[in-house]
Structure 1
Amino acid sequence: MHGVASCQRGARAPGRHRLRARTIPRLAHNGRVNASDPLAALSALRTEEGSALLASLASYDPADELAVATRLRREHPADLVSAALGQARLRQRAAAKFGAEDAGRMFFTPNGVEQSTRRTVAAHRAERFAALGVRSVADLCSGIGGDAIALARAGISVLAVDRDPPTAAAARANAEALGLADLIEVRCADVTDIDTSGYDAVFADPARRGGRGRIFDPEAYSPPLSWAIAAARTRPFAALKIAPGVPHEAVPEDAEAEWISDGGDVKEAVLWFGTAPGTIRATLLPGPHTLTGRGLPDPAVRAVGRYLYEPDGAVIRAHLVAEVAEDVGGGLIDATIAYITSDELRPTPYATAYEITDALPFNVKKLKALLREREVGNLTVKKRGSAVEPDELRRKVKPQGPGAATVFMTRTAGAPAMLVGHPA
């Protein structure tokens, strides 16, 4: 990426655009619309006929799509039916991120569903902005408006910017559908054209996917991370959403870095400016539970004790395993493995605890015999630092019986090992 930042969420948007009313095509007098044109399809779906058609598909089963389409085309133009069915499928996919109620009222693009921030994560970030006293945010690379919606619901006025016309049109439609149009202004433009000087804060979510899939080099983001950091430094407060695998050395000294997980799945990392420079955090949702780095050295390696703690992925990404180990009075089972062991059971939201019944050198035959003896049929296989594939291991040990167990395929003090236990 050179020169101009793009922040393009859609698949086909050229260069720079400004979204005006006339760029959204109206239905022709015969009610027909080109369903392959995203702007035309969105416009059609927002008419009285299109809205009613979408509402009728709220709970349809995609497995019955052919029969449903055949029936609906008797009463509606074929292209409108195709557009409605496509949007209904996107709404069903989006329910996991936005909740069924919001998703059932919103409009999506395929990339918008894939790349949008989960509602719980966006709400957490919006609450942090609100707690800082932020009343206005320039949301650069806004996509279909997921973060803008959360910010507006926190009482913050938002300028939502995306250069892809169908994406920007969807963001505007979503602000209107959710009753937030008074707080969200949508602008279809290149983010480098935006004057953010009148806003308390900047939020940027650079595109991290390209034609070949996920982008790992921060300077290949669209816009590049260096551009987003420069934009962040122009305002009193800023937050930049980045990939959770970002190297720690790429975090600027004047930024706070926060890794966020939701329901145990790591969702993103965020660089905060104007908050606590140099601070490292791991935030777990729901909660939230936030663990702050204390600059501890790596924990010592010790023999496997009665309990094994599996830190949350956000804790691991934030390099805060040492903080959890100190909190539970434990050490590592191996210098390179993020499993903590202790003889004490200390409740913590930052790790899942297991009681270990057996610690064995790696040997599939011995494991199979042990599981047969314990009558274990419900077997959970976890791995860290092991080449063993869980499905392959299950086929080899053939678990049978009413019992349940968890086996960790890992290393202890550098040697392949099997730890058998159950949730504490």
Structure 2
Amino acid sequence: MDSAELSLLLTTEGLRLVDSLPEYSAKGAVQQVAALRKAGHSPELVAAALTQSRLRQKARAKFGGFADRLLYTQAGLEQATRLKVAALHAGRFRDAGVRRVADLGCGLGADALAIAALGIPVLAVERDEVTAALAAYNLAAFPDVEVVHADAESVSLEGVDAVYLDPARRTAGTGETSRLTRPDDYSPSVGFAFGLGERMPVGVKLGPGFDREQIPGSAEAQWVSVDGQLVEMGLWFGALARSGVRRSALVVREGGSAELTAAADSVDAEVRPLGEFVYEPDGSIIRARLIGALAERLDAGMLSAGIAYLTADSVVETPFASAFRVRERLPASETALKRALRERRIGTLEIKKRGVDVDPAALRTRLSLKGPESATLILTRVDGAHEALLVDRVG
């Protein structure tokens, strides 16, 4: 989206058109364009409105019922915080007694929206002009939110007592962009964000794969997964960090959230023989290096050194891992495995792997599966040796 498209969109005609459009369908887009053009709308407005319709449909995964109240860019939506996670972020600022927050690099305004919804005034700063205008629209319902088009690293923080940053991790622009690989190239830069964290309460949202060696020792690091998908790592400084917590894994699902915390990385559990059950820890647990802490809760041991699978003789319900009951150990060689699966009439197979060099999709094709039965296959190492475990999900 460029400034010309934005000008068309932010008119009474443009906003009414976007809100009047039916559910987006790629198959029906050509006919819809023709109908809108016949109704007298310009080609530019039709294109901008249909783009919003498509992005609103995608945004429902992040914003639920609020998706149709907001406007988007492709790049902004890709980086926007999921609303349920943004609400948890906002809760930190409320619990710390913060009076005014600066959201530096606010993007489309998701985190600012959640903070403002708790009655906390927000200074929302965005460097990209189009994105800043859309943020102003998205946050217009909150009188205590000021949206500023400016560079986040140069804006005055007078009157602000806490900062939130979601540094842009993609190249500049509002359409198709590419991912930045060097933290120094983020906007605002990681160095700037960490510098602020040395002198005031600060929250920084980063990708879950951020180099752990660069995490400041004073920060609380929290990895977050939503519905099984690892989505972010948050670093919290000053009053926003919890006493005694330096590592956290937060699991957010439809029914609520659960968290495992520790003062530091946990030591992995001892390797033990394969039991009746295998656990696959959630991605947040793995990234936070809390597998050992989880193993203690489950009375489990490692399946193999350095492999993120746990095993136990009994099953414990936990939000932090998926549990599988072991049916049997199958031959690890592909030819023998194919024969064994055929004998068991398994036609639908979920393949999981850790510690082995195999492409599950390609292997599934080569196995030529046939039959009415279904199962899960775990390809991994058991006490260092390659194994194929035929398992069933528990629950």
Q: Secondary structure of the equivalent of 2:27? A: helix
2:388 corresponds, among 412, 415, 418, to: 418
Could you tell me which residue of structure 2 aligns to residue 141 of structure 1?
105
Could you tell me which residue of structure 2 aligns to residue 276 of structure 1?
242
Could you tell me which residue of structure 2 aligns to residue 292 of structure 1?
261
Q: Secondary structure of the equivalent of 2:69? A: coil
Could you tell me which residue of structure 2 aligns to residue 43 of structure 1?
7
| TM-score, scaled to structure 1 | 0.86
Q: Secondary structure of the equivalent of 2:28? A: helix
Is the CA contact 2:331–2:337 (under 8 Å) kept in the aligned structure 1?
A: no
Deviates more, 1:137-146 or 1:73-82: 73-82
AA at the equivalent of 2:153: T
1:279 Cα shift? 1.2
Structure 1 residues 196-345: aligned runs within 5 Å:
196-210=157-171, 213-235=178-200, 237-274=201-238, 275-276=241-242, 279-286=246-253, 287-293=256-262, 295=264, 296-345=266-315
Q: Structure 1 residues 197 and 256, CA, compared in 2 at 3 Å: closer, same or farther?
A: farther
Could you tell me which residue of structure 2 aligns to residue 64 of structure 1?
28
| Cα deviation code 1:78-105 (max 9, x no counterpart) | 2222221222222222222112x32212
AA at the equivalent of 2:197: A
Q: Which runs of 5+ in 2 are unaligned?
A: none
1:314 Cα shift? 0.5
Q: Distance in 2 between matches of 1:327 and 1:167?
A: 45
AA at the equivalent of 1:80: L
1:362 Cα shift? 1.4
AA at the equivalent of 1:57: L
Could you tell me which residue of structure 2 aligns to residue 19 of structure 1?
none
Q: Distance in 1 between matches of 2:35 and 2:324?
A: 54
1:120 Cα shift? 1.6
Q: Distance in 2 between matches of 1:353 and 1:43?
A: 52
1:355 corresponds, among 325, 329, 335, to: 325
Deviates more, 1:300-309 or 1:80-89: 80-89
Q: Distance in 1 between matches of 2:8 and 2:180?
A: 34
1:251 Cα shift? 1.1
2:371 corresponds, among 401, 408, 411, to: 401
Matched, 1:391 2:361: yes
1:361 Cα shift? 4.8
Q: Distance in 2 between matches of 1:315 and 1:246?
A: 15
Q: Distance in 2 between matches of 1:345 and 1:79?
A: 58
1:318 Cα shift? 0.4
Q: Which runs of 5+ in 1 are unaligned?
A: 1-35
Q: Structure 1 residues 232 and 102, CA, compared in 2 at 3 Å: closer, same or farther?
A: same
Is the CA contact 2:104–2:164 (under 8 Å) kept in the aligned structure 1?
A: yes
Q: Distance in 1 between matches of 2:235 and 2:358?
A: 36
AA at the equivalent of 1:137: V
AA at the equivalent of 2:333: N
Q: Distance in 1 between matches of 2:192 and 2:49?
A: 38
Could you tell me which residue of structure 2 aligns to residue 16 of structure 1?
none
| Cα deviation code 1:161-214 (max 9, x no counterpart) | 0111100000001112xx22x132100001122222422310011111237832
Could you tell me which residue of structure 1 aligns to residue 148 of structure 2?
187
Could you tell me which residue of structure 1 aligns to residue 348 of structure 2?
378
Q: Distance in 2 between matches of 1:70 and 1:323?
A: 59
Could you tell me which residue of structure 2 aligns to residue 8 of structure 1?
none
Is the CA contact 2:281–2:291 (under 8 Å) kept in the aligned structure 1?
A: yes
| TM-score, scaled to structure 2 | 0.92
Q: Distance in 2 between matches of 1:76 and 1:298?
A: 62
Is the CA contact 1:294–1:323 (under 8 Å) kept in the aligned structure 2?
A: no
Q: Distance in 1 between matches of 2:317 and 2:35?
A: 56
Q: Secondary structure of the equivalent of 1:365? A: helix
Is the CA contact 1:361–1:416 (under 8 Å) kept in the aligned structure 2?
A: no
AA at the equivalent of 2:89: R
Is the CA contact 1:144–1:171 (under 8 Å) kept in the aligned structure 2?
A: yes
1:294 Cα shift? 5.3
Q: Distance in 1 between matches of 2:137 and 2:22?
A: 18
Is the CA contact 1:304–1:359 (under 8 Å) kept in the aligned structure 2?
A: no
1:171 corresponds, among 113, 119, 135, to: 135
Greater RCO, CA 8 A, separation 6+: 1
Matched, 1:86 2:51: yes
1:352 Cα shift? 0.7
Q: Distance in 1 between matches of 2:206 and 2:339?
A: 46
Q: Structure 1 residues 336 and 246, CA, compared in 2 at 3 Å: closer, same or farther?
A: same
AA at the equivalent of 1:214: R
Q: Secondary structure of the equivalent of 1:112? A: helix
Q: Distance in 2 between matches of 1:410 and 1:316?
A: 16
Q: Structure 1 residues 72 and 153, CA, compared in 2 at 3 Å: closer, same or farther?
A: same
Percent identical among aligned pairs is 42
| Cα deviation code 1:125-166 (max 9, x no counterpart) | 112222222232100000011111111112221111011110
AA at the equivalent of 1:231: L
| Cα deviation code 1:204-232 (max 9, x no counterpart) | 11111237832333223222211111123
Could you tell me which residue of structure 1 aligns to residue 316 of structure 2?
346
Q: Secondary structure of the equivalent of 1:96? A: helix
Could you tell me which residue of structure 2 aligns to residue 97 of structure 1?
62
Is the CA contact 1:375–1:400 (under 8 Å) kept in the aligned structure 2?
A: yes
